[in-house]
Amino acid sequence: MRIKIRKRAQITIPGEIMQALLLKEGDELELTIKNRVICLTLVSETETKQRQKVSASKRESRVKSGMMPVPLVFLCFGGFSVYCHGVTMGVASKKAKELLALLLLQNGKPLSKKVIAELLWPNKMPQKSMACFYKTNQYLKNIPGFNEVLPLINSGGALSLDMSRIYSDINEFSQLLRQAPTIENRRRMLLLYQGRLFQNETFEWLSSQEAYFDMEYLEAAEWLIREYKSHNLIQEAQKYISLIFEE
């Protein structure tokens, strides 16, 4: 069976192989190269969970070890963690987390409350979805610690986050992306990317955003590899080649 390499070096695994190997959506495959042969290995659920634990530990230590200049910290790559003054803040409501995720991606820009309601409750009538929105908004305001910081800004029919009181790795990643590429800022982007955007969350609108950040991460890594190779820094280039394959 032949597989054609398409634009942006993406490979689609044929359905026959998916069925033969009993693969399903969400499974992780590890890619290795041996003697110019590409090998795909199914990663066990245990290995996946272990990687997630390590990633979460790195994120938490990064927040607690540094003096953050803002009270609220959102780490969104490789999971979704919220910290208030360095302490983990639990958000039990799935819809409240989804609302925060949606607003974080706006980076301070107001988002219509009607649009939010439609995205979060697509199967409800407009009146009911708006009622759910106001209930979820109030839930966030009542969270201890969160209500003291009050990062939510209501402006007429829209809602946004006060980014002057917030740090998010999404925002930093996006700021670095807008800069002219340098070894320093591309390395920082790769360091920020601890895993997929809001990993393990099941927001219905997430896939396009997830794909966008995945692609920007890969392009940053590819830029670094080319840059290191152009300076004959083969060992450094190989490190980032290995990093891509580990993902």
Q: For residue 188, give the DSSP letter.
A: H
- Is residue 31 very low, low, confident or very high in pLDDT (cuts 50, 70, 90)? low
Cα–Cα distance between 211 and 175 in angstroms, integer? Answer: 18
Residue 164 has pLDDT above 50, yes or no: yes
Cα–Cα distance between 246 and 195 in angstroms, integer? Answer: 11
Which tens digit of pLDDT belongs to each residue from 204-239? 999 999 999 999 999 999 999 999 999 898 888 888
What's the pLDDT at 14?
A: 72
What's the pLDDT at 52?
A: 45
List alpha helices for the chain, DSSP H.
Answer: 15-20, 45-65, 94-106, 113-120, 126-141, 146-149, 169-178, 183-192, 206-230, 234-246
- Give the pLDDT mean for 71-83: 93
Residue 156 has pLDDT above 90, yes or no: no
Which tens digit of pLDDT belongs to each residue from 95-118? 999 999 999 999 999 999 999 999
What's the pLDDT at 234?
A: 87
What's the pLDDT at 59?
A: 55
Task: Label the pairing between strands 37-42 and 29-34.
Answer: antiparallel
Evaluate whether 223 touches 186 at the Cβ level (below 8 Å): yes
Residue 66 has pLDDT above 50, yes or no: no
Query: Which residues, including other chains, have CB under 8 Å from residue 39's CB and lie 6 or more apart?
Result: 31, 32, 33
**What length does the chain have?**
247
- The domains found in the chain, sorted by start residue, are 7-43 (2.10.260), 170-197+204-246 (no CATH)
Considering only residues 159 and 43, tell me which one the structure prediction assigns the higher pLDDT.
159
What's the pLDDT at 51?
A: 47
- 17-21, 46-50, 76-80, range with the lowest pLDDT: 46-50
Mean pLDDT (the chain, rounded): 82
What's the pLDDT at 146?
A: 79
